[in-house]
Amino acid sequence: MTNVHAVVGAQYGDEGKGKMVDFFAAKARMVIRYQGGGNAGHTIVNEFGKFALHLVPSGIFHPETLCILGTGVVIHPMNLVTELKSLQAAGISTQNLLISERAHLVMPYHLWQDIYEEQSRFAKVGTTKQGIGPAYQDKSGRFGIQIGEMRDLDRFRERVHSTYEQKIQRMPGLADVAGSFAEMWEELETAREVLLPYITNTLPLVQEAVQGNQPVLLEGQLGIMRDIDWGVYPFVTSSSPISGGVAAGAGIPPTVLSRVTGIAKAYTTAVGAGPFPTQVDGEAGAWLRDKGQEYGATTGRPRTCGWLDLPTLRYGAWLNGYTDLALMKLDVLSGLPEIPVCVGYELKGTRHDMPLPAYQLEHVTPVYESLPGWQEDLTECRTFADLPTTAQAYVERIEQAIGVPVSHISVGPARQQTLVH
């Protein structure tokens, strides 16, 4: 039996994965970020302060934990440098960070391309304009540049210059928003000097940890409903945050995965465009947003809020193979007399128990069940028994509907506000 544990988003992203990775990393030998880029953040509150991590794995606060940016991640060099300096300024060592030499770069021209493409779309996908989608496009199209190529400065410069020229030629109009090559190269050269010591072949280290049965934690970005294949396409990210994406992005065989924890809020939120069946507007939506402080860690954009969507959790239970769930922000629901929970969808008279493709999901009507609420403040609760009986019943209803146990419950942002159930 291996000791490899994946933490994945069970909704639309922003579920609180960073907090749980920080919590689980206390016992991990290695934390691997296996996909995505810096277009989403993991907010963490611990004894060092409050941090919004965008690329660095959430295990960075544990000095004995090796943190790896895996092959499936795309990295904006200067943004990573800025993040590292921010951590160092707060007294956090970054010496335990390593970057896979095979991870791809988000280049400055990818940000320009992101803006250019979003403006040209008939239906906006809600990109954060961080260049993540174009970087993955180039990776799949074999125009990408791996971060290990930074080692040979002269060759790296030739590769960047050639790719930059091809990009301008292939996308007429991009030149109007793109800066000069000289400006771009100066930024890359500066970032290169900082990042070179972190770049290595991470595969032997990962192999050694897994074969040695050391605890390995795998951290993704976003959630199942933003998956490139199984999410609300085209309003999705450009990689696979589900557990199926772990093996390729981290460099492990799929057969060694021993635990998959799905992270879900006690309600549902989303950032960006696309269908969101349980969305609530008006006073209720504003109440959830303000009480839950639902604003993006990267962009500061207000998140759209809605009631808990059980079909989405059921969907992830199959596609991700959850062994357990962590339920976040249960404390936010305190004060509601009743709490609506979506138990299914109706479309043209037919009941559906799992999400549909986006072009159908945007037309469904959610079917709600109302559960008793509670008035008590949960933030001081430290065991499941401390929760009001109606809050306990809320958790148990989720377990019954999904068929997966809730192993952890968060009642606040701090580590100690995490109940083990």
- Catalytically annotated residues: 14, 42
> How far is residue 200's CA from residue 94's CA, in Å, rounded to a whole number?
15
Q: Calculate the alpha carbon distances from 19 to 38, 45, 108 in Å.
A: 17, 7, 30
* Other C-beta atoms lying within 10 Å of the C-beta of residue 86: 15
